[in-house]
A = this chain, B = another copy of it.
């Protein structure tokens, strides 16, 4: 699964009600276009698809005050709320998620209660450790390693990345357990969306200036 659905659901959810362009802007604000496949086509597709599947409610709205075609506003249904949390939990706890999914998960981390966030991250560490040992076993045939040739370097890479991922996750767990951040149900929540009309301070910044593909 890609990160799009989680990102879109999360964005709509923080607004309460949002149209595609708003979602698109939030994702850019979060830098998500840099580390995920959050392109217009994907976003609008996800919105329509999830509306069709009953996770979002679509309201047709008169053409906006500021030009452009008529908009559609979306709102989470109960099924959408459930899906959001399911995706969020999966993003945080499963080690075999691409980095974009994990990033999105971190972005919505505070929508969970503190204890659950910690539990999910601990499960993630456990998964990484298992995966690590599975990889070493798989790529270690009868005669011990060394006869693998350079293919062993693939294993090496995965082991390295599992270790580093686990280390980072442990650090995050520590910070959370140490009382950092304000989680769900702990008071004034963190608001990470652009208000109507607020400009995006990062909009024109190129994070990726060398990227000219």
Residues of A within 8 A of B (CB): 30-31, 35, 96, 98-99, 102-103, 106-107, 109-110, 127, 130-131, 134-135, 138-139, 141, 149-151, 153-154, 156-158, 160-161, 164-165, 167-168, 172, 175, 180-181, 190, 192, 201-202, 205, 207-211
Contact = CB atoms under 8 A, between A and B. Distances in A.
Contacts of A161: 99, 161, 164-165, 168
23 contacts: A35-B158, A96-B208, A99-B157, A99-B158, A99-B161, A106-B150, A106-B153, A109-B150, A110-B149, A130-B210, A134-B209, A135-B207, A138-B202, A138-B207, A149-B190, A150-B180, A150-B190, A153-B172, A156-B168, A156-B172, A160-B168, A161-B165, A164-B164
A91 to B, nearest CB: 12
A165 B164 CA distance: 9
A177 B154 CA distance: 18
B160 A201 contact: no
A134 B96 contact: no
A140 B208 CA distance: 15
Given A106-B150, A150-B110, A151-B107, A31 B99 contact: no
A158 B106 CA distance: 12
